[in-house]
Chain A
């Protein structure tokens, strides 16, 4: 059965030092995928930018490049979308052992957007971390998929979810050393660990349904954009998603926005601002099944 969601995301920026020439790249709009269909989507930007170009990046994510020519003191990115989400097909483990993945990879002569090769080497925000790799080695299982699940569950058990302990620029090695963080840290630690044992792993940003269906627990990460992991489980199985923050395979309550090697590839708002002062941002998300009335978005600080 298909779920239909109304999504509303509002991000506000204040520039106390009145900024000169703001230029941003936004990755906020969900795209179509195997279990995901975008019915409508609109991104409203205020004040209206002098330049706006909608495009697709290397990994296939929707991007919006915007620029203001005159100084702006505040700006708002306001996304509304309706997305249909199917239930992912149940997984049957046909993945090879992690050691046998190399042969599958060597046979794959592809550098297209979905090719696993992009997700093998360390990436700018996920440099090698020996401690995370040692941790991963301790959770090697017979098959790649079983390893992914074992590692994800172990990280979930080992690391404490703490919205105040890290920020968007915390190095995964530090988050892992302190055994705490938010969804971005859980995802990046798991990605680094998987790559360290030869399993290609990607970073996914997206949304979670805000209120769980009756009788189910509320998930961590509903208050802002969420992050989880995609691991390559061999030529036969391909990519499998896993959410280490909630220790589960994403279901029909997950909506994908962007995929990349790490946070830098999918950051919702990348910005270059010439300003003397700092900046301040607020971020609010609501994902509501369409037969339920949508409450106004609550204001939340920071991201998960």
Chain B
């Protein structure tokens, strides 16, 4: 009998920390039954297998391109998703209690919101200080008196939850503005499913897909018949942009930015390549203050002027209503318990972290006296005490400075109880160790009331310190499994009764423009690589920089901004980076594979630029890059569904290819060009083999122009590009009144005809230059018609 590897002693040495609740062990030291199946299953596996499984989860996240940005303002700070591999397990009973408490809280938040943007009774009756509301920067005066179209202000919420030493849950923070993380929760689940693939099917873990299905249905109901629902994102510079693109793909919703929208007669419309299309509901991922530069933050570059006019006119539903950030500032939590009793007659069944607003004399004195056991921080900040960059600290022992600060800026400060969090087991070097955790619970309003995403997201502390503030040191994110007592039926996003809606015809003009330019930049980069390779191949042959062919190529490259101060110009990775930037703005329309391929190309180009030598070395490096760029083009052109977006990408490629070819030929096919120039033209035009087969002799002026200009069987020829462009343009939306075709159609038809009747002998350099001018006009017509 072969030696079995020893099972893993995972829990050996695991000891809950004194003074804190533990997710794995109950207060009496007995293990909670919900964990037993997973731990037994894991314990039966050797350490190597567990390591291999966690690596599989990390690999999934890398392949999927899951990232987040540490600081919103620094795009360079993209980080891989920090997954803590072991999920947090909760029993269905615990979960049910939590959801009951959160339903009550969600209703309370809705009622407070309705009052603050309506009659204002809470202030008038003394339950909320007027000063606190008036100085809350998220209370947006232009929205006062505008009822939400759906009748409700709040539709999607998240709550930050901790567990007290006595085992009960409490709320650390409400996320009412534009909660993020629901998409990351899905990715957490995908990763843990990869890791524990053979355990999950019998684990009784509640699925997440039903939550998204309910949420999407509610969003589409809000949009109303014949109107689209879409996601409104602040754009790629936002720290959770990845999630916006992921959710847009997952739910099949358009991903919009502020400039995609325009307000016409009280109706929000999307600028699409088909014209203006009405939008009925937006899942808003942009903070309210930036949504409308006309009535809110006047410096916002990411909003839509007139959005509030659309809200006034009842022409738009928002998830959530503008101004909902007013609820999530810390100071509100000082008043919510009391307001609950006033409005509903019942106390909060789920308490929130005890909070004192220092804008009131009695509370200020209390905070001063108890400073040592309170966290003191900004009252009007929505950040959790442990959020990155939060200016929250335990009160100082020395009270004199604090007393002065409280007297001076009390209205801007709160004291909050220095809570202790529960611990959950985390895998650390093959063993389980207790780490503090908080849950993030997502809620969505449906016609049947609030529904909750069953788990998916927890934050895990970096050290064993269970004080909430210690979470400031950073940490990781874990999946949360809500475990049912009985098996859970399979569930995916698209059950048979819902037919996914086609997204054809709803291409925002901005997305089309980015795709068009992506097509152009990738083609431009490819042309540059071919030219650089042609240079180094000849350099390797002659080793004589004075060779006229080298001079010709060097001058031509310099004219393109690709000066050869080093073997591979710095500008080459820059050019690929431009392509990548265009792609980054339409990531929801790409497969993750295509994105990875482009990223890889960008990184390789940067690396090669720094290290290759001239001649054969550089020529080889360019061949490697050409292979990579073909990989990207293959993924896009072979695998991308032929929606309208693909047509714009292809139009960009054809336009650039035709333009580059004309430019190449004006130099290299000019009768006065140096000997050997025609060979360069065919090589850069990737037509060496074809030329040999068709003509059986060395290149002549007429054969080169025939093959590279007029041969519609040559996919590199200018005529082929024009033919392709005509075909794509014929599939774009047309105005039915233009029965003789648009100006764009006519311009392309004339180009097509002129190229078909042309003879190679008649194509002078001047003719080529004139044709280039006509191609520019085509580009301008296309832009004016579809991309503005």
Contact = CB atoms under 8 A, between A and B. Distances in A.
Interface in A77-99: none
B144 A109 contact: no
A21 B264 CA distance: 10
Interface stretch (B289-297, B446-454, B771-779): B289-297
A79 B135 CA distance: 35
B134 A120 contact: yes
Given A23-B306, A58-B141, A117-B134, A111 B262 contact: no
Given A57-B142, A58-B142, A110-B123, A69 B134 contact: no
A191 B125 CA distance: 30
B325 to A, nearest CB: 15
B293 A111 contact: no
B289 to A, nearest CB: 10
Which of A53, A67, A69 gathers most chain B CB within 10 Å?
A: A67
Given A23-B294, A124-B297, A270-B294, A117 B131 contact: yes
B124 A110 contact: yes
Given A21-B262, A53-B309, A112 B120 contact: yes
Contacts of B293: 272
Interface string A55-77: 10111000001010100000000
A115 B144 CA distance: 15
B16 interface: no
A53 B310 CA distance: 12
A272 B294 CA distance: 6
Nearest to A272: B305
A110 to B, nearest CB: 6
B40 interface: no
B294 A108 contact: no
A110 B124 CA distance: 6
B550 interface: no
Interface in A169-221: none
A51 B144 contact: no
A264 interface: yes
Contact of A23 (B131, B142, B263): B263
B305 A23 contact: yes
Interface string B761-788: 0000000000000000000000000001
B123 A120 contact: no
Contacts of A67: 263, 306
A160 interface: no
A176 to B, nearest CB: 21
Nearest to B294: A272
Interface string B269-311: 0000000000000000000000001110110000001100100
B126 interface: yes
B263 A25 contact: no
Contacts of A120: 131, 134-135
A270 B123 contact: no
A124 B298 CA distance: 9
Which of B141, B142, B263 gathers most chain A CB within 10 Å?
A: B141
Contacts of A23: 263, 294, 305-306
Nearest to A51: B265
Contacts of B134: 111, 115, 117-118, 120-121
Nearest to B143: A58
B750 interface: no
Interface residues of A, number: 32
Q: Which applies to chain A's interface (DSSP): helix, strand, loop or mixed?
A: mixed
Given A21-B262, A264-B298, A108 B130 contact: yes
B61 interface: no
A119 B293 CA distance: 22
A163 interface: no
Contacts of A20: 788
B399 to A, nearest CB: 22
B133 interface: yes
Contacts of B123: 109-111
Contacts of B263: 23, 67
Residues of B in contact with A, size category? 20 to 34
Contacts of A247: none
A105 interface: yes
Interface in A19-33: 20-21, 23-25
Nearest to A103: B361
A270 B262 CA distance: 17
Interface string B129-141: 1110111000001
A222 B129 CA distance: 41
A115 B130 contact: yes
Contacts of B130: 108-111, 115, 117
Interface in B253-270: 262-265
Contact of A25 (B294, B312, B411): B294
Given A117-B130, A264-B298, A272-B294, A111 B120 contact: yes
B645 to A, nearest CB: 23
Contacts of A121: 134-135, 411
Contacts of B133: 111, 117
B144 A58 contact: yes
Contacts of B305: 23, 272
A136 to B, nearest CB: 14
Contacts of B297: 124
Contacts of A21: 262
B153 to A, nearest CB: 17
A196 to B, nearest CB: 11
Which of B126, B298, B305 gathers most chain A CB within 10 Å?
A: B305
A106 B130 CA distance: 8
A65 B298 contact: no
Interface string B731-761: 0000000000000000000000000000000
Contacts of B264: 51, 69
A291 B451 CA distance: 70
Contacts of A59: 141
Contacts of A110: 123-124, 130
B306 A109 contact: no
A109 B126 contact: yes
B316 to A, nearest CB: 15
Nearest to A122: B135
A65 B312 CA distance: 12
Contacts of A24: 294
A118 B293 CA distance: 21
Nearest to A261: B141
A109 B262 contact: no
Interface string A252-278: 000000000000100000111000000
Contacts of A53: 309
Contacts of A264: 298
A271 B131 CA distance: 31
A270 B144 contact: no
A265 to B, nearest CB: 8
A170 to B, nearest CB: 15
Contacts of A111: 120, 123, 130, 133-134
Nearest to A112: B120
Nearest to A264: B298
A102 to B, nearest CB: 9
Contacts of A124: 297-298
A55 B145 CA distance: 12
A272 to B, nearest CB: 3
20 contacts: A21-B262, A25-B295, A51-B264, A55-B312, A57-B141, A57-B142, A58-B142, A65-B309, A109-B124, A110-B124, A111-B120, A111-B123, A117-B134, A120-B134, A121-B134, A121-B135, A270-B294, A270-B295, A270-B298, A272-B306
Given A23-B294, A264-B298, 15 more contacts: A20-B788, A23-B306, A24-B294, A25-B295, A50-B265, A57-B141, A67-B306, A109-B124, A117-B130, A117-B131, A121-B135, A121-B411, A124-B298, A270-B294, A270-B295
Interface of B: 120, 123-126, 129-131, 133-135, 141-142, 144, 262-265, 293-295, 297-298, 305-306, 309, 312, 360, 411, 788
Closest 6 CB pairs of A and B: A272-B305, A117-B134, A58-B141, A121-B135, A117-B130, A23-B305
